[in-house]
Homo-oligomer: A and B are copies of this chain.
Amino acid sequence: MATIYDVARAAGVSAKTVSRVLNGDGPVGAATREAVEKAMREMGYVPSNAARMMRASKSGLIGLITGAITTVREATQPAGLPDLFIVQGIQAAMAQADMTVMIADTGGHQDKVPRLIDTFLSHRVEGLIYVAEYHQQVSLPPVPPSTPLVLANCFDDIGTPAILPDDERGQHELVARLIRAGHTRIAYLTLRDEIEATRLRSLGYRTALAEAGLAYDPNLVRPCDLNGHEAETQLIWDAIDQMLRLPDPPTVFCCGNDKMALKVYGILRSRGLRLPDEICVAGYDNYHVIAETLYPPLTTVELPYFAMGVRAGQRLLSLISGQGREDRSPTLVSGSVQWRASVTERTPINVTQLRSIREETPK
């Protein structure tokens, strides 16, 4: 690889002059500039960032650590890793600021994280981002305070800047929208109890009901997530069965995610119910492949992964430039309700009619 000295020799000038042409500082005569540029072009010269870095101590590098990648495979959660949209968002933000992103994943082994951080530090990254595969609490090994760290899709208990989806608001807006559409009996098949999203979304579900003056009915809420285990379908079937046999059954099923909604479609249809006329379904995540391909297309809530990535990138950039170092509060990113044909607007009258139809159908 050609060096600045090779170029200097070819152009018959000193290395410093080539440097001046490269960086546009100090004055350079027109003829000289041209000769230097010609030499650079002919030799395919590209300046070495390493050498530059040694003086400038600005690497233009960002380190991105994700447990997402391989954890997904391990967790028997064969999802399509939509969380990599976060990586894209970060990339987009960094490209704008002329930063290069280095990525590494833990391969599902949390204990690899310190080594990955050291690798990044040895490349003198200007900042680090950790991306989790789902909204959760994490605990990372300490990072030198001179290297800012941002958490995306996760948070810790020492106030590291975090970018999180606003799960509470998302579910709240979905339920409020369902209520405006005339639904009053809203079932909620949640994800596992222990995950953060479930806690927040349940909260959003309850406050939306309360604001509309509707009572919270525990019979309409049930966790139906076994983390991909095959018995999950049975669990969902059972929950739906019991809820539909309530004296006042739900008119719409909210699901913990779009994948669950896909299963719910199948189960409801196997019971002979027509979607969306007889029963409605809503999801969460706006997982495009499912939500837009299903018939009828699925009403769901956007999980704003791309936007979260961009926000994480921007927050890191401002930390690098020294701003907002003392701000400990997480950034919440909201996703909008995607209203599609799987939920119909209905008046209380329709609900009554439907209930009688359903009671005629033998279990």
User: Which of A50-58, A177-185, A238-246 has 4 or more CB atoms under 8 Å from chain B?
Assistant: A50-58
- Residues on B with beta carbons closer than 8 Å to the beta carbon of A120: 100
Q: Which of B69, B82, B101 contacts A102 (CB 8 A)?
A: B101
Cα separation A1 to B118 with both chains bound (whole Å) = 13
- List the one stretch of A165-173, A216-224, A288-296, A312-320 in contact with chain B: A288-296
A124-B288 in contact (CB<8A): no
Given contacts A91-B69, A124-B50, contact A262 B294 (CB under 8 A): yes
Q: Is A155 an interface residue (CB 8 A)?
A: no
- The answer for the CA separation of A67 and B281 in the assembled complex, in Å, is 35
- Residue interface mask A258-292, B partner, CB < 8 A = 1: 01001100110110000000000000000111101
Q: Give the CA-CA distance A214 to B233 in the complex, in Å.
A: 39
Interface residues of A in 177-218 (CB under 8 A from B): none
> Which of A101, A104, A107, A123 is packed against the most chain B CB atoms within 10 Å?
A123
- Which residues A224-244 have CB closer than 8 A to chain B? 233
Q: Once the chains bind, are B104 and A100 in contact (CB under 8 Å)?
A: yes
Q: Please encode chain A, from 67 to 108, with 1 for each CB lying within 8 Å of some chain B CB and 0 for all others.
A: 001100000001111101101100110010000111111010
CB neighbours of A294 from chain B (8 A): 262, 266
Among A78, A87, A102, A289, find the residue whose CB has the most chain B CB atoms closer than 10 A: A289
Inter-chain contacts of A91 with B (CB < 8 A): 69, 103-105
Question: Judging by beta carbons under 8 Å apart, are A78 and B48 in contact?
Answer: no
- A46 contacts the other chain (Cβ, under 8 Å)? yes
Q: Does A122 contact B (CB under 8 A)?
A: yes
**Given A50-B54, A59-B50, A122-B47: A107 touches B84 (CB 8 Å cut-off):** no
Q: How many residues of A contact B (CB 8 A)?
A: 59
Does A110 sit within 8 A of B, measured CB to CB?
no
Provide the residues of chain B in CB contact with A59, threshold 8 Å.
50
Please tell me if the beta carbons of A1 and B146 are within 8 angstroms of each other in the complex: yes
Partner of A46, one of B48, B70, B121, B292: B121
A119 interfacial by beta-carbon distance below 8 Å:
yes
Q: Which residues of B contact A79 (CB under 8 A)?
A: 288-289
Q: Which of A103-132 contact B (CB under 8 A)?
A: 103-105, 107, 118-124
Chain B residue numbers with a CB within 8 Å of A104 are: 91, 95, 100-101
Interface check A324, CB cutoff 8 A: no
Q: Is the CB of B290 within 8 A of A290?
A: yes
Give the nearest-CB partner of A296 in chain B. Answer: B266
Give 4 closest A-B pairs by Cβ, nearest first: A78-B288, A80-B80, A50-B50, A266-B295
B100–A88 CB distance below 8 A: no
Q: Which residues of B contact A57 (CB under 8 A)?
A: 1
Q: CB-CB < 8 A to A48: which residues of B?
A: 54, 122, 124
The reply to whether A102 and B105 form a contact with Cβ atoms under 8 Å apart is no
Q: What would be 24 A-B contacts, judged by CB atoms less than 8 Å apart?
A: A1-B121, A46-B121, A49-B123, A50-B53, A50-B124, A61-B102, A78-B288, A78-B289, A78-B292, A79-B289, A80-B81, A84-B87, A87-B103, A91-B104, A91-B105, A92-B107, A100-B102, A101-B102, A101-B104, A103-B103, A262-B294, A266-B294, A289-B290, A290-B290
